[in-house]
């Protein structure tokens, strides 16, 4: 079982223009920085990207947007990116906005073999247009379908050669469920360890979902909103 | 009339011991600073925290620890971390007792609009649609009127909806109102604000019964 690859370039070598990608992260927290940089370098385009956010101008998915490599974004919140807003309002970029919980569950369902599910989120709003509505326990729900991707790209704190992953803090977010929903899932980790080095009781994502893994480098981990208090408070 | 901190303080009075609470971005976030003495609540952040603490001290910011507004935060002792699907299982499954969020408009039937202004602003709904569709107890924190002086408490929302018939209570700089089947019911006035002022600032159906007490902040 050989899952370990050398670097991001090798991990993404067969991602092609027009493919659908899932990318983990919430804001800039827990995003696969190395693979995004490699995709920018590779220059493929027409990508459909499923990601909770679209990065910021000049970082994260914002880099792919700036390069016009993305045809369509499927996200829940895109408020931090001027270039995104410009491309969307001008019609250059197709955008599908999805309630955050439905996005998470659609990815989870995609990886878990559940083709669709009913949720109350979005009932009575424009999100529900064209979707089947059914009443359960006296409450209306809408039918949402599962999401899968040609490639899912996730970022973890630690991982082993079998692809078992542990995330750190809120950098976990969408990574575990996206890892499940990729036909091929690539994990970039801050620290790649030998099998047995991670406690099996504390694995967040079992290695079965991961096809390729590598130790990333030069993580910037930019902070979007640096909020602090002073010692006197 | 209340300022934003006053609104947050008044909402904090609604907190009950043992509740799990989700606070939205903006005024709702401030509620965490005014939890009444002797009340223990846990704050849920939908990006994956239960037991969110205050902002870190300068120099102790951790890029791997942020809240739903992408602000650096800390964890309280006993906090836990989870993924986004788990987070919304808590929300959708009604394990969170109170949701506080901002709004652009609320209708007198409890509809809420807060995610989109067609042609002008499209940031997305984030977790708001999931929260309002499932939370049993939703308090809206907002200003009573918009920048043009027009009421945000309407007969019907004009902007795209975030959820229908879901808001239970509204706290503005002028008043506390409950959403009832008959419309907005005036519960309290802000200090120094007259009932007439509130009537004039409210476009939707408004019920004013008897003497309306002034808030105690």
Output the DSSP codes for A45-96: --EEEE-SS--BTTBTHHHHHHTT-EEEEEES--TT-HHHHHHHHTTSSEEE
**How many angstroms from the chain centroid is the CA of residue B27?**
8
Strands (E), B42-123: 42-45, 49-52, 75-81, 98-101, 105-107, 112-113, 116-117, 121-122
d(C-alpha B25, C-alpha B68), whole Å? 8
CATH number at residue A165: 3.40.1080.10
Q: Is residue A14 part of a domain?
A: yes
Nearest Cα to Cα of residue B50 among B24, B87, B13: B87
Radius of gyration of chain B (CA): 17
Of A170, A189, A220, which to mutate for an interface test with B (greatest number of B Cβ within 10 Å)?
Answer: A170
Which residues sit opposite B144 in a β-bridge? none
Tell whether B159 is within 8 A of chain A (Cβ). Answer: no
Evaluate whether B212 touches B195 at the Cβ level (below 8 Å).
yes
Name the residue of chain B whose CA is nearest to A78's CA. Answer: B123
pTM for this one?
0.96
Evaluate whether A131 touches A121 at the Cβ level (below 8 Å).
no
Confidence of residue A42 (pLDDT cuts 50, 70, 90): very high
Which CATH fold topology does B4-30+96-207 show? Answer: Glutaconate Coenzyme A-transferase (3.40.1080)
Q: Is residue A58 part of a domain?
A: yes
Contacts of B100 (CB under 8 A, 6+ apart): B11, B21, B22, B23, B24, B28, B31, B138, B139, B140, B141
Tell whether B133 is within 8 A of chain A (Cβ). Answer: yes
Residue A136 burial (C-beta neighbours within 10 Å; 0-12, 13-18, 19+): exposed
Q: Where are the domains of chain B?
A: 4-30+96-207
Asked if B88's CB is within 8 angstroms of A170's CB, the reply is no
Is a pLDDT exceeding 80 seen at residue A205? yes
Q: Is residue A233 part of a domain?
A: no
Residue that the structure tokens 């059914």 belong to:
A134
* Domains: count for chain A: 1
Asked if B134's CB is within 8 angstroms of A100's CB, the reply is no
- How much is the pLDDT for A233? 52
Domain ranges, residue A57 = 8-115+147-215
d(C-alpha B88, C-alpha B80), whole Å? 15
Is a pLDDT exceeding 60 seen at residue B73? yes
Is a pLDDT exceeding 90 seen at residue B170? yes
**How many angstroms from the chain centroid is the CA of residue A15?**
16
Name the residue of chain B whose CA is nearest to A104's CA. Answer: B85
Over pLDDT 70: what percentage of chain B? 100
- Using a CB-CB cut-off of 8 Å, the residues of chain B touching A227 are 55, 71-73
- How much is the pLDDT for A161? 98
- How much is the pLDDT for B119? 80
Is a pLDDT exceeding 80 seen at residue B121? no
d(C-alpha B192, C-alpha B215), whole Å? 10
Tell whether A184 is within 8 A of chain B (Cβ). Answer: no
- What's the average model confidence in pLDDT over B74-82? 97
Strands (E), chain B: 20-23, 42-45, 49-52, 75-81, 98-101, 105-107, 112-113, 116-117, 121-122, 138-141, 153-154, 169-171, 175-180, 183-189, 206-207
| DSSP H helix total and E strand total for chain A | 6, 11
Element (H, E) at B29: helix B27-30
Which candidate from B91, B124, B130 shows the least CB-CB separation from A79? B124
Name the residue of chain B whose CA is nearest to A177's CA. Answer: B85
Evaluate whether A167 touches A16 at the Cβ level (below 8 Å).
no
Tell whether A72 is within 8 A of chain B (Cβ). Answer: no
- How much is the pLDDT for A192? 98
- Return the structure tokens found at A163: 């692809």
- Return the structure tokens found at B215: 């808030």
Name the residue of chain B whose CA is nearest to A80's CA. Answer: B123
Nearest Cα to Cα of residue A157 among A201, A202, A196: A202
Q: Is residue A78 part of a domain?
A: yes
Q: Which residues 185-224 in chain A show a CB within 8 A of chain B?
A: 204, 221-224
Over pLDDT 90: what percentage of chain A? 92
Q: Is residue A209 part of a domain?
A: yes
- How much is the pLDDT for A59? 96
Digit-coded pLDDT (tens) for A166-197: 999 999 999 999 999 999 999 999 999 999 99
Model ipTM value: 0.96
Gap between the terminal Cα atoms of chain A: 54
- Return the structure tokens found at B71: 């602000």
Q: Is residue A228 part of a domain?
A: no
Q: Would you name the residues of B annotated as active-site residues?
A: 46
Average model confidence (pLDDT) across chain B:
96
């Amino acid at each position: 079982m050989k899952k370990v690859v050398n670097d991001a370039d090798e991990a993404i070598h067969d991602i092609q223009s027009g493919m659908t990608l899932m990318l983990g992260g919430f804001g800039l927290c827990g995003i696969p920085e190395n693979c995004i940089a490699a995709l920018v370098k590779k220059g493929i385009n027409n990508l459909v990207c499923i990601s909770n956010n679209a990065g910021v101008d000049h970082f994260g998915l914002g880099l792919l947007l700036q390069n016009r490599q993305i045809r369509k974004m499927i996200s829940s919140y895109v408020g931090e990116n001027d270039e995104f807003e410009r491309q969307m309002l001008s019609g250059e970029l197709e955008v599908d906005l999805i309630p955050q919980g439905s996005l998470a569950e659609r990815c989870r369902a995609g990886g878990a073999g559940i083709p669709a599910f009913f949720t109350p989120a979005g009932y009575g709003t424009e999100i529900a247009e064209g979707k089947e509505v059914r009443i359960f326990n006296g409450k209306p729900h809408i039918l949402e379908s599962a999401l899968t991707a040609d490639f899912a790209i996730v970022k973890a704190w630690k991982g082993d050669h079998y692809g078992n992953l542990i995330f750190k803090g809120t950098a976990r977010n969408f990574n575990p469920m996206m890892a499940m929903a990729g036909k091929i899932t690539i994990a970039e980790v801050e620290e790649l360890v030998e099998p047995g080095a991670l406690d099996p009781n504390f694995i967040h994502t079992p290695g079965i979902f991961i096809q390729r893994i590598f130790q990333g480098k030069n993580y910037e981990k930019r902070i979007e909103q640096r909020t602090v208090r002073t010692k006197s408070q | 009339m209340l300022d934003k901190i006053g609104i947050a303080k008044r909402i904090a009075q609604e907190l009950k011991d043992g509740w799990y609470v989700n606070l939205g971005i903006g005024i709702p976030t401030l509620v965490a600073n005014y939890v009444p003495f002797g009340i223990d609540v846990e704050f849920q952040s939908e990006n994956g925290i239960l037991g969110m603490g205050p902002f870190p001290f300068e120099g102790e910011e951790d890029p791997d620890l942020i809240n739903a507004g992408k602000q650096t935060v800390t964890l309280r002792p006993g906090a836990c971390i989870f993924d986004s699907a788990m987070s919304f299982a808590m929300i959708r499954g009604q394990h969170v007792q109170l949701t506080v969020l901002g709004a652009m408009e609320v209708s007198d039937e409890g509809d809420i609009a807060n995610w989109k202004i067609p042609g002008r602003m499209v940031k997305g709904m984030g977790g708001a649609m999931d929260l309002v569709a499932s939370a049993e107890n939703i308090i809206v924190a907002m200003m009573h009127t918009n920048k043009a002086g027009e009421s945000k408490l309407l007969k019907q929302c004009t902007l795209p909806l975030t959820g229908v018939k879901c808001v239970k209570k509204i706290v503005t700089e002028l008043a506390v109102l409950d959403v009832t089947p008959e419309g907005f019911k005036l519960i309290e006035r802000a200090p120094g604000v007259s009932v007439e002022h509130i009537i004039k600032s409210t476009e939707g159906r408004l019920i004013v019964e008897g003497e309306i007490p002034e808030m105690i902040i």
